[in-house]
Structure 1
């Protein structure tokens, strides 16, 4: 199957099937060579970022409403639209490649329609983007309501900078384990975090046990917890286990580290990933099965809308709803209130979420005596610290410290 056909199938699995782009792009391209794999990744991630503008251009020339098109046809057109409008591919190659792709995917009868639509797009290009907030949202690839919510949290200038930076391709983030050298450039202010563009070098470092792949913002969360060997610590929403393993490494594998997650399958996989020594259990952080225990350190890296990870998972912008942040915030506050009694006197709890929206960040920790962690880069946001692609070159992450 051609690379464009693979890209169309992947896009359909993400949009209709709910697959995670960062996972399915990797697993569905194993049979492709390096150049084709990168081409597919560029088309899929680009189409997800530019989807609103692509659909606008397609709808302007299509003789049929887009929602009524067969999913195979629509995803083929979207990949072709991305190549024509944003990837700056040669028009004839993009159109001919899309025609071949729709045939390969079992829809030869639609080849003429695909050819006509994409030739029209190639000829007319994209219509002028309207002025005002609607046009700004369209250029940034988000719905106007989402731009409004990010603006409410960060101000208009900050929102536009954040969303523009979230449309860029990130380097690979890694955390060094031990003292062995690792590839990449160290991230200022986040000890042990590196950024690297060489995927093969990263794979070698991971295989040797010298590094794990994780964004520097996640490394910052582990540093904020400030564990030490011999402590008793808990990670209350621990899967997939990257931050848990960071805590265990920082404890020099000495002490007690309890890791909990609501989902048994996720907890089991995380336990396999992190190895022996960590005590994994299945528990709801709102009603933790640890009520009689007391900890020196507690990490609550709460489930959230994930808007801080748009660079790596651009589909999130199409999955969140206007009420998503408020719904998440209510659960996050309940989790936080359940976690606070687990602290020993003098203990520290770190609340973190990979998002920037106020309902999940400043509003969740309001009135609890939270403060930003010290010694980390970022910008103060309410009673916490915000890392973001336009500020620190990392994923978006809100971190707040509460001490008993």
Structure 2
């Protein structure tokens, strides 16, 4: 049930109160933090999942207030496309014509009105206070008028007005209702074989708050230790757990680097690479290793087998993060398209290629608005060069895992189809993850949040000829 359906009575037919104009604006630190995050995303392309913990820590916001700030910021970013359509219908200016600081505040107010249990009068008055503090008294009057109109209907009622009819424009309808750019809806539909019902489920899953996934690095920590600390076992990964509540940094194994936060699909694609049988298995490479999640797991598995991992990343700061995630692996700053290692050096190569990140929109809600279709050609060109280099780095008979955190066909099947012929045999990746259902028709493995509760990661396994 949405917010509007829960507040249909008790207002006597009047709009929500906004408080007296003469009173001093009340500071609400949780809402101010959420607003400041929205502005940082807009002004300097900040990453919400990285900046929010810093804001909360610096401002000493904890407990319920921290949870409120996080929900308001992330929820607004997820629903931004929907809210802009509704805001545009409630004012005399399109959202794109509004001053960005005012626009972000109104978006924050719309989220509270349409998708939270916050009473309408509190949602509006707190937003007006925020605008008076951060933007100015003049714009607050315009915002008040818009938000009073937003509060007059439920979310479902607004969607019936602003979304294109499903029968006439199914992609446009899904884009507005589920707050995704049209081109991403198209990409998901294509990756799901044109199934609009499953596309809808994938979009809905993107808007659900993800659970915190943990990995117990073998030889250093066991999942049982994480369970004893309050986690529950993952559905598929033998190393994985999910944290039901609390801060993962407070778990001793995580604080000590013996366990880490890592999506379950990320664990499984690394595991699949290690399961392909080889007659010689001593030298492994993680080619684009930053920030180190897969490298940390591969390093631990390699240690158990007597193999050695080399982890590389082209960016200095990402290579530094990798050094903090591994214990035995060598770490170098290197460009995978012009590498310092000799061809045919490695038995196994992990290539987690730079991509659009469309598979991680649950955790990075702003990414759906930051990426553009025009980003695809440059990224796929880089992906092709990296995959060709990875197949040069592995010895004949060795295996490469090509991974993207994106289901976009141009970044997945098309890249492999362009690079692999004549160079490598494409293995059926599903055979190396028999415990995971619903990975697609093969020979690739495609994870989905609505099927597996993970990021939408893609895996291809290639054996060099």
User: TM-score with structure 2 length normalisation?
Assistant: 0.82
1:225-264 correspondence runs (5 A): 225-226=273-274, 231-252=282-303, 254-264=306-316
Match of 1:190 among 237, 241, 244: 237
Residue 342 of structure 2 corresponds to residue 342 of structure 1: no
1:300 paired to 2:351: yes
Whether 2:427 is the aligned partner of 1:371: answer yes
Checking the alignment, whether the CA contact within 8 Å between 1:362 and 1:381 is kept in structure 2 is no
Shift of 1:324: 2.7
Instruction: Output aligned runs, 1:115-194, within 5 Å.
Output: 115-125=144-154, 126=158, 128=160, 129-132=163-166, 133=170, 134-154=172-192, 155-156=194-195, 157-177=197-217, 178-179=221-222, 181-183=225-227, 184-194=231-241
Once residues 426 and 107 of structure 2 are traced to their aligned partners in structure 1, the CA distance between those partners, rounded to angstroms, is: 45
Aligned to 1:288: 339
In the alignment, structure 1 residue 72 sits paired with structure 2 residue 106: no
Moved over 6 A (4+): 227-230
> Are positions 1:40 and 2:69 aligned together?
yes
Structure 2 CA distance for aligned equivalents of residues 65 and 323 of structure 1:
24
User: 1:248-294 CA distances to partner (integer Å, 9 max, x unpaired)?
Assistant: 111127443211111122212322x1255322212221222223461
Rounded to whole Å, the distance in 2 between the matches of 1:299 and 1:259 is 9
- Contact between 1:5 and 1:102, CA under 8 Å: does it hold in 2? no
CA spacing shift, 1:34–1:316, aligned 2, 3 Å: same
Write the mapping of 1:269-284 to structure 2, written as runs, cut at 5 A.
Answer: 269-271=321-323, 273-284=324-335
Contact 1:365 1:383 in 2 (8 A): no
CA distance in structure 1 between the aligned counterparts of 2:262 and 2:235, rounded to whole angstroms = 16
Matched residues in 2 for 1:140 and 1:211: separation?
34
1:333 partner SS: helix
Q: CA offsets, 1:149-181, max 9 Å, x none?
A: 221121233322212111111110000123351
Structure 1 residues 365 and 45: alpha-carbon distance in aligned structure 2, compared to 1, 3 A threshold: same
Q: Which residue of 2 aligns with 1:24?
A: 51
**Within 5 A, what are the aligned runs for 1:374-385?**
374-376=431-433, 377=436, 378-385=438-445
Q: Judging changes above 3 Å, is the alpha-carbon distance between structure 1 residues 149 and 276 closer, same or farther for their aligned structure 2 residues?
A: closer
RMSD: 2.1
What CA distance in whole angstroms lies between the structure 1 residues aligned with 2:159 and 2:258?
50
Three-state SS of the structure 2 residue aligned to 1:123 is coil
Query: For 1:57, what is the secondary structure of its paired residue?
Result: helix
Q: CA deviation at 1:94?
A: 0.3
Q: With the length of structure 1 as denominator, give the TM-score of the two structures.
A: 0.93
Which residue of 2 is the match for residue 99 of structure 1?
Answer: 128
CA contact (8 A) 1:72 1:107 kept: no
Worse overlay, 172-181 or 275-284: 275-284
CA distance in 1, matches of 2:129, 2:397: 65
Instruction: Point out the more displaced range, 101-110 or 172-181.
Output: 101-110
Q: 1-side partners of 2:64 and 2:373: how far apart?
A: 38
Report the Cα offset of residue 145 of structure 1: 2.4
Give the 3 Å change call, closer, same or farther, for CA 176–308 of structure 1 in structure 2.
Answer: same
Structure with greater Cα Rg:
2
CA distance in 1, matches of 2:138, 2:47: 30
CA distance in 1 between counterparts of 2:248 and 2:363 reads 20
Q: Distance in 2 between matches of 1:391 and 1:287?
A: 38
Matched, 1:86 2:115: yes
- Pairwise CA distance, 1:98: 0.4
Where does the alignment leave 5 or more consecutive residues of structure 2 unmatched? 1-26
Shift of 1:202: 5.9
